[in-house]
């Protein structure tokens, strides 16, 4: 732990270096930045099993999951590299001059440019895909921003290995020194200083509500406020409609038992809230779901901080009047591990207990039982902003409940029909975002190539000769990029 003064001075140096690197990096052609991203992917792959083993030891995540997540990380870097080459990410719009118009229209050409140095806080639950070289870093580097990553203390060694890969790729492809920097000092104060530094232009965060909101508050209280994209908690409501419950309860129970327990429930898209109307179908579903969940053995969570918080929050939720524990209460579980928990509560008790609306990070799901279709909708309307909402229904259900799509789109950034919210596809159309408190800005996504938009701002060039225009906007279109001309 550094002294306050030397921490201050270290962060100051890091951010000033990042500011200088940005001034060079933003001028590097997009095609060159694409090479850099691909080189990062190669260097990560070159770390081989050593990287996977380090991450497994630090996070307790199984090798199969880590292998998949590494593939996803490499895939993200590759997708951003492809996008940089196509050029449409820059929203190039050209209005040519109309001298006869009154008043005459000048030639105006618009493109997106990078914001500046971006500070990124990696997540605990995605040591690769949403940490050091994850989606935030890949999108910010693609945008032309220099990046400072604050390593997540729970997987510091993994983070150092990946940071070294990024640095090697930067050297190999001739990027400015300090285009990427890795801050290993794990204190809360470090994060605060990084967000408050004058050179910092934007912040990316994936984690808890309290962590994200604190960073957002620091950014908002700067003399010049800066954008913070924090992806925070979500309970991901799932609406189980009557006909589906009656006719498909066994399949639904199987599907949701798997989703609730996937990765020991350590996903921000974990289905933490099931909403249904009382009835025979629901009873059969609950019985089946509880049976499946009880077959799942306790498993280690990412770290003891998380397993302790899980145990504490579950206990607190279950102590609320009206909340019933459905899965069998375990006698004792091993330190650092977690068991799936299914609880139930009536809609009216749910309405009156704000605690039940909060995320419990882990393999926990609360079933809210409504006495009518109207009350079921009221439960959906009562929840805060969410990353996802899932709708489980038959054609018959949707004929009766078609309006639920409207309601769901008011609440969440992604709506899943007859599927599970876990498993976030990295693609162009993906939205991993949603109204506050799911994120601090619902206008952006954290997953998929559109996430680059968080780190870009438009600039218009008016009446410019080709000699002074960026290549993307020259009349001759030398880069052959996609442009809209009007």
Q: Name residues contacting its own copies, limited to 216-275 (CB under 8 A).
A: 216-217, 220, 224-227
Stretch that binds its own copies, among 122-130, 159-167, 316-324, 394-402 (CB under 8 A): 394-402
Q: Is 268 a catalytic residue?
A: yes
Q: Should residue 462 be labelled a site residue for its own copies when binding is judged by CB under 8 A? A: yes
Report the alpha-carbon distance of residue 322 to residue 291 in Å, rounded: 22
Q: Should residue 135 be labelled a site residue for its own copies when binding is judged by CB under 8 A? A: no
For the CB of residue 391, give the shortest distance to its own copies in the complex, in Å: 8
Report the alpha-carbon distance of residue 26 to residue 5 in Å, rounded: 31
Q: Should residue 398 be labelled a site residue for its own copies when binding is judged by CB under 8 A? A: yes
Q: Which of 7, 47, 94, 378 binds its own copies (CB under 8 A)?
A: 94
Residue 155 or residue 414: which is nearer to its own copies going by CB? 414
Q: Which of 93, 214, 250, 377 binds its own copies (CB under 8 A)?
A: 93
For the CB of residue 407, give the shortest distance to its own copies in the complex, in Å: 9
Stretch that binds its own copies, among 30-38, 259-267, 341-349, 433-441 (CB under 8 A): 433-441
Residue 99 or residue 331: which is nearer to its own copies going by CB? 99
Q: Say which residues have a Cβ less than 8 Å from residue 366's Cβ, sequence separation at least 6.
A: 235, 272, 273, 274, 317, 323, 342, 343, 344, 345, 350, 356
Listing DSSP states for 387-451 in one string gives EEEEEE--HHHHHHHTTHHHHHHHHEEEEEESS-S-----STT-----TTTTBS-TTS-SSSGGG
Number of residues that bind its own copies (CB under 8 A): 72
User: Residue 273: enclosing H or E segment and its boundaries?
Assistant: strand 273-277
Tokens standing for 48? 């081989």
Catalytic residue among 35, 58, 268, 288: 268
Q: Which of 48, 427, 466, 478 binds its own copies (CB under 8 A)?
A: 427
For the chain, the distance separating the N- and C-terminal CA atoms, rounded to the nearest angstrom, is: 57
Tokens standing for 448? 């998929």
Q: Should residue 95 be labelled a site residue for its own copies when binding is judged by CB under 8 A? A: yes
Contact mark string toward its own copies, 2..31, x via CB under 8 A = ---------------------x--xx----
Q: Which of 354, 460, 475, 478 binds its own copies (CB under 8 A)?
A: 460
Spatial CA neighbour of 185 closest among 260, 123, 121:
121
Report the alpha-carbon distance of residue 99 to residue 96 in Å, rounded: 10
Q: Should residue 378 be labelled a site residue for its own copies when binding is judged by CB under 8 A? A: no
Q: Which of 58, 146, 450, 481 binds its own copies (CB under 8 A)?
A: 450
Stretch that binds its own copies, among 33-41, 134-142, 360-368, 406-414 (CB under 8 A): 406-414
Report the alpha-carbon distance of residue 23 to residue 144 in Å, rounded: 10
Report the alpha-carbon distance of residue 275 to residue 256 in Å, rounded: 13
Report the alpha-carbon distance of residue 323 to residue 132 in Å, rounded: 40
Q: Which of 414, 446, 452, 481 binds its own copies (CB under 8 A)?
A: 414
Report the alpha-carbon distance of residue 269 to residue 259 in Å, rounded: 9
Q: Give the catalytic positions in this structure.
A: 231, 268
């Amino acid at each position: 732990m550094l002294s306050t003064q030397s921490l201050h001075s270290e962060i100051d140096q890091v951010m000033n270096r990042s500011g200088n690197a940005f001034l060079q990096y933003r001028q590097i052609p997009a095609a060159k930045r694409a090479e850099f991203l691909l080189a990062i992917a190669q260097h990560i792959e070159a770390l081989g099993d050593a990287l996977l083993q380090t991450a497994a030891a630090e996070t307790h995540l199984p090798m199969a999951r880590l292998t998949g997540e590494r593939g996803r990380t490499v895939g993200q870097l590759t997708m951003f590299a492809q996008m940089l080459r196509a050029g449409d990410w820059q929203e190039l719009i050209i209005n040519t001059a109309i001298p006869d118009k009154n008043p005459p229209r000048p030639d105006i050409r618009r493109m997106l440019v990078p914001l500046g140095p971006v500070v990124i806080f990696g997540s605990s639950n995605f040591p690769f895909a949403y940490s050091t070289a994850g989606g935030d870093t890949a999108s910010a580097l693609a945008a032309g921003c220099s990046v400072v990553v604050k390593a997540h203390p729970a997987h510091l060694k993994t983070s150092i290995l990946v940071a070294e890969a990024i640095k090697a790729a930067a050297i190999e492809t001739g990027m400015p020194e300090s285009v990427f920097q890795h801050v290993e000092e794990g204190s809360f104060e470090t994060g605060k200083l990084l967000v408050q530094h004058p050179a910092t232009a934007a912040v990316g965060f994936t984690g808890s509500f309290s962590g994200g909101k604190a960073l957002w508050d620091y950014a908002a209280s700067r003399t010049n406020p800066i954008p913070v994209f924090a992806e925070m908690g979500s309970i991901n409501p799932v609406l189980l409609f009557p006909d589906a419950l009656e006719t498909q309860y066994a399949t639904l129970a199987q599907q949701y038992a798997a989703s609730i327990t996937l990765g020991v429930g350590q996903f921000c898209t974990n289905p933490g809230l099931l909403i249904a109307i009382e009835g025979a179908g629901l009873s059969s579903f609950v019985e089946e779901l509880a049976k499946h969940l009880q077959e799942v053995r306790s498993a280690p969570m990412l770290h003891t901080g998380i397993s302790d918080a899980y145990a504490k929050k579950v206990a607190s939720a279950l102590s609320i009047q009206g909340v019933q524990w459905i899965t069998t209460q375990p006698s004792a579980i091993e330190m650092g591990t977690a068991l799936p928990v299914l609880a139930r509560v009536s809609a009216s008790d749910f309405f009156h207990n704000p605690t039940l609306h909060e995320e419990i990070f882990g393999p926990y799901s609360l079933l809210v039982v409504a006495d009518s279709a109207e009350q079921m909708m009221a439960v959906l309307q009562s929840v805060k902003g969410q990353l996802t909402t899932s709708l489980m229904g038959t054609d018959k259900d949707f004929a009766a409940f078609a309006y639920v799509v409207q309601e769901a789109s008011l609440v969440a950034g992604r709506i899943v029909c007859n599927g599970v919210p876990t498993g976030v596809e990295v693609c162009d159309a993906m939205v991993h975002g949603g109204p506050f408190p799911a994120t601090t800005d619902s206008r952006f996504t954290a997953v998929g190539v559109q996430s680059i938009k968080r780190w870009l701002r438009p600039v218009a060039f008016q009446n410019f000769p080709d000699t002074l225009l960026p290549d993307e906007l020259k009349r001759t279109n030398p880069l052959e990029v996609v442009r809209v001309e009007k």
